[in-house]
Amino acid sequence: MENIKDVVLKYVVDEYLDDPEDEMTYETPLISGGIVDSFSMVSLKRFLEATYKISLPDDRATPEAFDTVNSITDLVNEFLAKK
Amino acid sequence: MSNIGSYEERVNNFSWSLAEKELGYTPGDDINIGWYCTDRICQMGKSDKKAILWEGLGGVEKQYTYNDLRLRTNTMATMLKGIGINEGDRVCLFMDKVPELYVGVLSVLKMGAVAQPLFSAFGDESLFVRLDNAQTSAIITQRKHVGKVRLILERLPSLKHIIIIDHDGKKELKTREMAFDMDHAEQIEHFEAAHTKAESPSVLHYTSGTTGQPKGVKHVHYSLISQYLTSKWVLDIQDNDIYWCTADPGWVTGTSYGIIGGFATGATVCILDTGFSAESWYKFIDKYKVTMWYSAPTAIRSLMKAGDELVKQYDLSTLRHLASVGEPLNAEAVIWSEKVFGKPFHDTYWQTETGSMMIVNVPGMKIKPGSMGKPFPGIIATVLDEHTYEPVDGPNKPGLIAFQPGWPAMMRTYWRNEETYGKKFKNGWYLSGDKAFLDQDNYFWFIGRDDDVINTGGHLVSPFEVESALLEHEAVAESAVVAKPDAVNMEVVKAFVTLNPGFEPGDMLELQIMNFIRKRLSPLAMPQEIEYLDKLPKTRSGKIMRRLLHAKEWGEEIGDVSTLEDD
């Protein structure tokens, strides 16, 4: 199964980068960096939930938790472990 | 002491000539917003005063004095003239909140063209609709956004110039493209501002309605008069203020007050070009010692959610005055801001069409948390009975917010749509499209829109536009879009769809459709939820009954269903 970090990184690059050749790392700030705005965050949350069959409560799906690929991966792993 | 002093005295002794005199303007003179925001400030002896304090991602900083602003606007205006842009031509500015956006708007105004700032998150279709309607001649953009322009270029024969402000030479420029480096171009010392007059077109903003495509709201250079005075009296901008208007200039607030009001009053204007985070916002205020902060309810509610403890980690003691715009500021937010910042956000109400603030809370005025406030001096505002279009006869009676036409920043028309513009006036009143009631003290209290337009995060989204775009997705057979309540954004977009044969409802399809709309229109227009239905509720004549879907979302009575098509 593909590594969660890479799945998330690829999705962010494909869906949210205006210029696909912009550099993106697991630590690139997504929300605070303006790459994913608060409205678009909903689609990212929906992607994670649909892909990993988890449900992320609103109070955990915060701009802080979604700010980097690494922090998103940590959140997903946390909820996968609870399944 | 506030600039406005006593609200009642100002109301009783008001004339727009007060602002004209302060600006040294006599009716009939030339009036050019770009000149007033740059050269005039320098002529007042403030050439070395900081005009722009800008910070971008990773803490990158840029600062410009008023003389720098004067020179850069001269330079960009010269460049535009040099490539054949004429007075009255529309020039779109399609950038993030980079310095070139602010300078660009002023440059376009200075040379007498019409500035058309557009939100940089717009997708290619949203961009096309607006550029096509305006028959835009040039677009100033960044390389990260030029891809969207290229997608629609063939359909825009009038778009002769695509000016890229951060071309790095790594890839070739494509057809109609050119590079322009504002900071490294040879700076032009002398540029004669266009001899624009009061009614010369200045800015074209696009706003969404219930039906049809977005409308181009035409403003003129005389709008400066009310934009300047409201900046002085409502935002209370004073000479030593460090002023932060958080709005993007792609929206009217970011232009009228983030650019025009800020620079025409000679303030030091702060700009933060990063995404939202409560920490970065508080850090910004602390770092630059912001004194006047003009923001929006959605952002304020997001700050509330981030918690009070975070506020204590920063020194925000320089904040002198706070104001808000975009949607009604709920009472809880007013009370919270007084608690954590020591002063309340002052709500201001106005629209793209009004060009400047209309119903306000001014310094020194008693604030009723949750109220829109009172009319700005010189603005005649009322609540009209929705059947007779006469002012309601007494307090606490709901009706339509309306204004007596003729304030300086009133829109002059909808671009190429005089018919729709004419419908904004009834019985001698300008109709805002919003509803309110007046209390016994003549404070206005917002009730809601008079139409189906969705106000999400302070921005208007047209259900029609979203529905039309949804129908372009191969899976969607029919669509209906309504507002859904949201704790932070007040409303968000929700779509109800039926599917074409061969498509099954599911999470992945919902995601695909959401992303389709987000990229085609904008993140604001993206449905935050899609509900699949076997059929949409319709009248027997086939008209989709959105109000039933809306009522369901808001927990309201669904009302008369006698015309509903039988199952």
Domains of chain A: 4-81 (1.10.1200.10)
CA distance B248 to chain A (A): 13
Q: B202 vs B105, B114, B442, CA distance in Å? A: 10, 5, 34
pLDDT digits (tens, 9 = 90+) for B80-107: 999 999 999 999 999 999 999 999 999 9
Residue B209 has pLDDT above 90, yes or no: no
The arithmetic mean of pLDDT across residues B326-343, rounded, is: 93
* Facing B274 at nearest CB: one of A19, A33, A40: A33
User: Which two tokens mark B543?
Assistant: 């008209």
The verdict on a CB contact (< 8 Å) between B275 and A39 is no
What is the chain B residue with the closest CA to A19? B144
Mean confidence (pLDDT) of chain B: 95
B contacts of A55 (beta carbons < 8 Å): none
CA distance B60 to chain A (A): 12
Check residue B544 and give its pLDDT.
84
What is the chain B residue with the closest CA to A51? B508
pLDDT digits (tens, 9 = 90+) for B47-66: 999 999 999 998 999 999 99
Return the number of CB contacts < 8 Å for A and B.
Answer: 75
CATH number for the domain formed by residue range(s) B454-554: 3.30.300.30
Task: List, as ranges, residues 34-73 from A with C-beta within 8 Å of B.
Answer: 34-40, 42-43, 46-47, 49-50, 63-64, 67
Check residue B77 and give its pLDDT.
98
Check residue B386 and give its pLDDT.
92
Q: What are the residue boundaries of the structural domains of chain B, listed by start? A: 7-435, 454-554
The verdict on a CB contact (< 8 Å) between A43 and B277 is no
| % of chain B exceeding 70 in pLDDT | 99
Check residue A1 and give its pLDDT.
54
What is the chain A residue with the closest CA to B122? A18
CATH number for the domain formed by residue range(s) B7-435: 3.40.50.12780
* Facing A46 at nearest CB: one of B277, B280, B511: B511
Residue B567 has pLDDT above 60, yes or no: no
* Facing A32 at nearest CB: one of B275, B302, B524: B275
The verdict on a CB contact (< 8 Å) between A29 and B275 is yes
Check residue A11 and give its pLDDT.
94
* Facing B515 at nearest CB: one of A15, A36, A67: A15
pLDDT digits (tens, 9 = 90+) for B251-293: 999 999 999 999 999 999 999 999 889 999 999 999 999 999 9
Residue B363 has pLDDT above 90, yes or no: yes
CA distance B124 to chain A (A): 11
A contacts of B148 (beta carbons < 8 Å): 18
Residue B210 has pLDDT above 80, yes or no: no
Pick the range with the lowest mean pLDDT from A20-24, A74-78, B178-182, B351-355: A20-24
The arithmetic mean of pLDDT across residues B352-378, rounded, is: 97
A15 or B541: whose pLDDT is higher?
A15
pLDDT digits (tens, 9 = 90+) for B442-479: 999 998 887 888 999 888 898 888 998 999 999 999 99
The verdict on a CB contact (< 8 Å) between B515 and A37 is no
Decide: B516 and B476 in contact? Cβ < 8 Å.
no
- Asked if the interface predicted TM-score (ipTM) of this complex is over 0.90, the answer is yes
For A73, the enclosing helix (H) or strand (E) is helix A69-81
Indicate the DSSP class of residue B17: H
As separate numbers, helices (DSSP H) first and strands (DSSP E) second, chain B gives 19, 27
Residue A32 has pLDDT above 70, yes or no: yes
Q: Report the first-to-last Cα separation within chain A, whole angstroms.
A: 17
Is residue B431 very low, low, confident or very high in pLDDT (cuts 50, 70, 90)?
very high
B contacts of A33 (beta carbons < 8 Å): 57, 274-275
Check residue B545 and give its pLDDT.
85
Rounded CA separation B399/B300 (Å): 28
The verdict on a CB contact (< 8 Å) between B144 and A38 is no
CA B562 to chain centre: 40
Rounded CA separation B342/B321 (Å): 10
The verdict on a CB contact (< 8 Å) between A38 and B147 is no
Indicate the DSSP class of residue B540: T
| % of chain B exceeding 90 in pLDDT | 88
CA distance A49 to chain B (A): 9
The contacts found for B333-340 with CB under 8 angstroms, 24 or more apart, are: B333/B297, B333/B300, B333/B301, B333/B304, B334/B367, B334/B369, B334/B370, B335/B369, B336/B300, B336/B304, B337/B300, B339/B308, B340/B308, B340/B311
Rounded CA separation B244/B290 (Å): 7
Is residue B224 very low, low, confident or very high in pLDDT (cuts 50, 70, 90)?
very high
Residue B548 has pLDDT above 60, yes or no: yes
Q: B261-298 burial, b for 16+ CB within 10 Å, e for fewer?
A: bbbbbbbbbbbbbbbbbbebbbbbbbbbebbbbbbbbb
Residue B566 has pLDDT above 80, yes or no: no
Q: B48 vs B44, B110, B132, CA distance in Å? A: 11, 20, 41
Residue B167 has pLDDT above 60, yes or no: yes
- A13 burial (CB, 10 Å; 0-12 / 13-18 / 19+) is middle
Check residue B328 and give its pLDDT.
84
Count of beta carbons in the 10 Å neighbourhood of residue B231: 28
CA distance B340 to chain A (A): 21
Rounded CA separation B424/B433 (Å): 8
pLDDT digits (tens, 9 = 90+) for B484-514: 999 889 999 999 999 999 999 999 999 999 9
